[in-house]
Amino acid sequence: MLGLVMVAGVVAISLLAPYLATHDPTAVNIAERFQPPSYEHYFGTDDLGMDIYSRVLYAGLYDLSVGLIVLAVSTSIGTIVGIVAGYYGGKTDEALMRLSDIFLSCPGLILAMGFSAAFKSRSLQVLVFAIALHQWPSYARLVRGQVLTVKENQYIEAARAIGAGSWSILIGHILPNTISPIIVNGTLDTGAIILTAATLSFIGLGTPPGIPEWGRMVAEGRMYIQSYPWIIIWPGLMILITVLGLNLLGDGLRDILDPRARMRT
């Protein structure tokens, strides 16, 4: 319940950022740099005089978009690969699983850094594909395991007996049984995706300059942490709340969608 409230709160303020923001998040005002929190600037201003409150709100919209797009891309690819590998087996299964092993053998952050650094431009598309490269194999293996279990059930044999085709069985009978674990793992992975995106932006391989993003805001304010701590406190706090809320929500969904896991614990 707490996780749902935290995530819902972050999503709400991010979606309402154009209406809740008090300043242009990209407007530079050198005359008001390093202003402490006040009625004019709720969270203070940074080294360029930009309003941190407005930037934090818009950064939430950007980071959540990255998390959801990466999740959609990685789950789509992983689900297709996992279903095909698990259902057809044999050389197809072997080839697809060895391909996933190649991507899983590289640390996720290092793989994302290498892909992102290979492109001179910094854009949402590059960031999404850089992170999705490491995310999809875990879903492929998850779905493959589910398919290997489900396809041995008697109702699958019955569907084959009445003449149902392979794709009809895959879409109508096997795919629905993979949804629950995908939802649970997707909720938990979204927090990790947001952390990875923030890390890439922190080291200069994520968002382009000027775009509000929590990781970049922390990176830009780290030099002033002792004198002007509010510059990094608020974006850092938003990362903490978002990731913690997603993890709590994922644990709650796992208890609801997989009662057996709750009984084992």
On average, the pLDDT of the chain sits at 83
Total structural domains in the chain? Answer: 1
Name the CA dihedral angle for 181, 183, 187, 190, rounded to a multiple of 10 degrees: 100
What pLDDT score was predicted for residue 263?
Answer: 47
* % of residues, the chain, pLDDT over 70: 93
For the whole model, what pTM was predicted? 0.83
Q: Tens digits of per-residue pLDDT, 134-154?
A: 888 888 888 888 888 887 777
What pLDDT score was predicted for residue 122?
Answer: 66
Question: ∠ CA 24-26-30 to the nearest 5 degrees?
Answer: 95
- Whether 260 shows a pLDDT value over 80: the answer reads no
Q: What is the CATH number of the domain that holds 116?
A: 1.10.3720.10
Q: Tens digits of per-residue pLDDT, 5-59?
A: 888 888 898 899 999 988 988 888 888 888 899 998 999 998 888 999 999 999 9
Which residues form the domain of 211? 2-264
**Confidence band (pLDDT; 50, 70, 90) for 110?**
confident
Structure tokens at 144: 């493959």
Task: Name the amino acid, one letter, at 186.
Answer: G
Q: Three-state SS for 48?
A: coil
Name 228's Cβ contacts closer than 8 Å, sequence gap at least 6. 34, 36, 44, 46, 47, 221
Q: Given CA atoms 116, 132, 208, 31 in this order, what sign does their dihedral have?
A: negative
Q: Helix-strand-coil percent breakdown of the chain, rounded to 5?
A: 75, 0, 25
Closest CA to 255 of 245, 265, 246: 265
Q: Three-state SS for 51?
A: strand
- Residue 243 to residue 237: CA distance in whole angstroms: 10
* % of residues, the chain, pLDDT over 90: 10
- Whether 259 shows a pLDDT value over 80: the answer reads no
* Longest Cα–Cα distance in the chain: 77
Average confidence (pLDDT) over 96-124: 77
Residues constituting the chain? 265
Contact, 194 vs 239, CB < 8 A? Answer: yes
Q: Tens digits of per-residue pLDDT, 195-210?
A: 888 888 888 777 777 7
**Confidence band (pLDDT; 50, 70, 90) for 238?**
very high
